[in-house]
């Protein structure tokens, strides 16, 4: 067995996920990479999550549990960052789960390329449980990674990624605690900007749950999506927008955030209730419909652009149809 000289800290922010917590924890305990520090931060849960965490701490000596008053997902992640001791750091959402080689794959990538960050571009989810047939990996520059995450070719969340602890400490990178929707996106922009090299693979090692009705990305909440629009503006303030390539990529990210908000709002049938938000996000979607066509983007995003211009209700209807076909039950 390969010697595991580097300890990995896994940080999990926990808030009212007792339904999924044991499944997630069990997937971590089954990792084939054993030199782990597993940090659960209970952000003032009101269900049985706190009790489950205390039992998990007794079950495995690698588990550390922190209980705190509710302060939001960013403050919970920051507690983990400030208390972790690993050489590498990764995040897992406790309503998801990971494959047995989640840690070892990311460690191998970061060490193979002597990178500051490693990640996979692909995940399992309710819609796709097939592993990629052709597995590839490569090294990205900081700018390449920034462009790919701004254009959603790299997932904007912090899960499915690994960071050198030195990178975060030396550059004072933490989560903005006034952001709770898009906090990972902002964190990654800061990390990618500071990184020398990012190792990128495409093996699916993470399962992202799309049927958690409490998730901000499956259930429309005005406060959260207004915060998401605020978060995307914060990202712009941390980028060099005089660089035309970065500027176009950022414009895409701003457009997609508005389109996602618009789509979920329509899916929840709250257009009249939140009419001003509906009008604002729809307007941005139409004004910048062309942006997927002038940058590297997916066919789905090009379809998003055209449909926003011609028939805006197409996107929510297609999302609803996909949920029905795949049997994903979410009450918006």
At 253-307, the pLDDT tens digits run: 999 999 999 999 988 889 999 999 999 999 999 999 999 999 999 999 999 999 9
Task: Check residue 1 and give its pLDDT.
Answer: 45
pTM for the complete prediction? Answer: 0.92
> How many alpha carbons lie under 13 Å from residue 182 in its C-beta half-sphere?
28
159-171: burial string, b at 16+ Cβ within 10 Å, e else: bbbbbbbebbeee
pLDDT tens, 179-201? 999 999 999 999 999 999 999 99
pLDDT band at 154 (very low <50, low <70, confident <90, very high): very high
Question: What is the arithmetic mean of pLDDT over 1-24?
Answer: 91
Mean pLDDT of 111-130: 95
Say how far apart CA 40 and CA 37 lie, in whole Å. 10
* Topology, domain 8-208: Spore Coat Polysaccharide Biosynthesis Protein SpsA; Chain A (3.90.550)
Going by pLDDT thresholds of 50, 70 and 90, the confidence category of residue 230 is very high
Give Cβ neighbours of residue 102 (< 8 Å, ≥ 6 apart). Answer: 27, 31, 90, 92, 205, 206
In this prediction, residue 179 carries a pLDDT of 97
Report whether pLDDT(332) > 70: no
Question: Where do the domains of the chain lie?
Answer: 8-208, 222-326
Higher pLDDT, 8 or 210: 8
Q: Is the pLDDT assigned to residue 146 strictly greater than 90?
A: yes
- Residue whose token pair is 């895409």: 252
Q: What is the mean pLDDT of residues 127-134?
A: 92
165 CB-side CA count, 13 A: 16
């Amino acid at each position: 067995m390969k010697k595991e000289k580097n300890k990995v800290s896994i940080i999990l922010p926990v808030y009212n996920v007792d339904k999924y917590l044991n499944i997630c924890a069990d997937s971590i305990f089954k990792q084939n990479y054993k030199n782990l520090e597993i940090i659960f931060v209970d952000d003032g849960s009101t269900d049985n999550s706190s009790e489950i965490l205390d039992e998990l701490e007794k079950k495995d000596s690698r588990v550390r549990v922190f209980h705190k008053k509710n302060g939001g997902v960013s403050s919970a992640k920051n507690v983990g960052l400030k208390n972790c001791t690993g050489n590498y750091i990764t995040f897992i959402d406790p309503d998801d789960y990971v494959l047995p080689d989640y840690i070892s794959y990311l460690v191998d990538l970061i060490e193979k390329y002597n990178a500051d960050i490693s990640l996979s571009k692909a995940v399992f989810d309710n819609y796709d449980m097939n592993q990629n047939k052709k597995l590839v990996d490569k090294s990205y520059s900081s700018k390449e990674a920034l462009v790919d995450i701004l254009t959603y070719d790299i997932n904007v969340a912090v899960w499915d990624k690994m960071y050198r602890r030195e990178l975060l400490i030396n550059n004072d990178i933490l989560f903005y605690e006034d952001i709770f929707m898009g906090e990972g996106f902002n964190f990654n922009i800061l990390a990618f900007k500071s990184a020398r090299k990012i190792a990128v693979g495409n093996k699916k090692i993470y399962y992202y749950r799309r049927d958690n009705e409490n998730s901000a990305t499956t259930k429309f909440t005005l406060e959260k999506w207004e915060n998401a629009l605020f978060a995307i503006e914060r990202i712009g303030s941390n980028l060099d927008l005089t660089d035309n390539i970065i500027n176009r990529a950022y414009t895409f990210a701003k457009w997609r955030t508005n389109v996602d908000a618009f789509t979920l709002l329509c899916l929840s049938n709250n257009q009249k209730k939140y009419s001003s938000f509906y009008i604002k996000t729809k307007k941005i979607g139409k004004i910048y419909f062309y942006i997927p066509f002038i940058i590297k983007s997916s066919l789905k995003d090009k379809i998003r652009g055209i449909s926003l211009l011609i028939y805006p209700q197409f996107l929510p209807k297609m999302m609803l149809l996909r949920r029905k076909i795949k049997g994903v039950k979410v009450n918006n």
